[in-house]
Amino acid sequence: GPRVGVLALQGDVREHARVLTDLGAEVVLVRRPEELASVAGLVLPGGESSVIDKLSRAFGLQQPLRDAIAAGLPVYGTCAGLILLAERITDGIAGQQTLGGLDVTVQRNAFGSQVDSFEADLDVPAFGDPAVHAVFIRAPLVTRVGTGVEVLAALEDDRIVAVQQGNLLGTAFHPEVAGETRFHRRFLDLVRAA
Ligand code: GLN
């Protein structure tokens, strides 16, 4: 299968690596620019986006990641990973940066402290049946989308929780903890087509 990376600075790296391995991919844990250069696609895991941001700069990965995204590398970000892909964020910590690439505004920790975590069954027209069982953990929300962005899924109140723009895919929730493989399959399709 294709050789793909999981950014392994912080977060739920193992869960993504397991799903991708089960789908037949060869998985590289990416912590250094040389490792990034060796993969045909990359997953940005869930975790804490401000920590992953700081570590990406400390490890000299921020610019290589931005260059790879600009060059068209397929990237799938879940939760914190979606925050990292956003061109604009709100409610970040002071000085928090993103990699960018997705023409969206993402609100960090959008669901507040009383509902830090919840689950929902999402209709994803691109996938058909069954619904996606989505696990949200201190999740962000896509509050604005640019014209080139496809909305893949929204909550019943129309709040946007999954988007795609070209080779960039982002979900506010965590398919990798719910046995949901269709987003990872879609990501691997992008990798094979790139
Ligand atoms: N709240 C986290 C952040 O701001 C995201 C949570 C998650 O990835 N599950 O990065």
Cite the annotated binding site by residue number. Answer: 47-49, 108, 137-138
In tens, the pLDDT along 29-43 reads 999 999 999 999 999
Positions annotated as catalytic residues are: 79, 174, 176
What pLDDT was estimated at residue 116?
81
CATH of the domain at 167: 3.40.50.880
In this prediction, residues 21-27 reach a mean pLDDT of 98
Overall number of domains in the chain: 1
What pLDDT was estimated at residue 185?
98
In tens, the pLDDT along 116-132 reads 899 999 999 999 999 99
The H-or-E segment that residue 121 falls in is: strand 117-122
- From residue 103, give the alpha-carbon distance in Å to each of 42, 43, 45, 83: 18, 18, 19, 12
Indicate if ligand 1 lies below 6 Å from the C-beta of 47: yes
Q: What is the largest CA-CA distance in the chain?
A: 43
Using the predicted structure, report yes or no on whether residue 114 has a pLDDT greater than 70: no
In tens, the pLDDT along 78-89 reads 999 999 999 999
What pLDDT was estimated at residue 112?
82
Distance CA 6, CA 20 (A): 9
Predicted complex ipTM: 0.96
- From residue 46, give the alpha-carbon distance in Å to each of 6, 34, 138: 11, 23, 10
Ligand 1 centre distance from Cα of residue 50 (Å): 9
What ligand 1 atom has the least distance to the C-alpha of 137? 9
Report H helices in 2-159. 13-22, 33-37, 49-58, 62-70, 80-85
Indicate if ligand 1 lies below 6 Å from the C-beta of 18: no
Domain that holds residue 33: 3-193
Q: What is the mean pLDDT of the chain?
A: 96
What ligand 1 atom has the least distance to the C-alpha of 50? 10
Pocket test for ligand 1, best of 9, 13, 16, 48 (most atoms within 8 A of CB): 48
- From residue 90, give the alpha-carbon distance in Å to each of 17, 105, 108, 140: 29, 7, 6, 10
For a pLDDT cut of 90, what percent of the chain falls above it?
95
Tokens of 136: 């949200």
In tens, the pLDDT along 40-82 reads 999 999 999 999 999 999 999 999 999 999 999 999 999 999 9
Using the predicted structure, report yes or no on whether residue 164 has a pLDDT greater than 80: yes
Distance CA 65, CA 42 (A): 10
Tell me the CA end-to-end span of the chain in Å, nearest whole number: 14
Distance CA 160, CA 1 (A): 32
Pocket test for ligand 1, best of 9, 51, 82, 108 (most atoms within 8 A of CB): 108
In this prediction, residues 91-119 reach a mean pLDDT of 92
What pLDDT was estimated at residue 155?
96
Distance CA 99, CA 101 (A): 7
What pLDDT was estimated at residue 167?
98
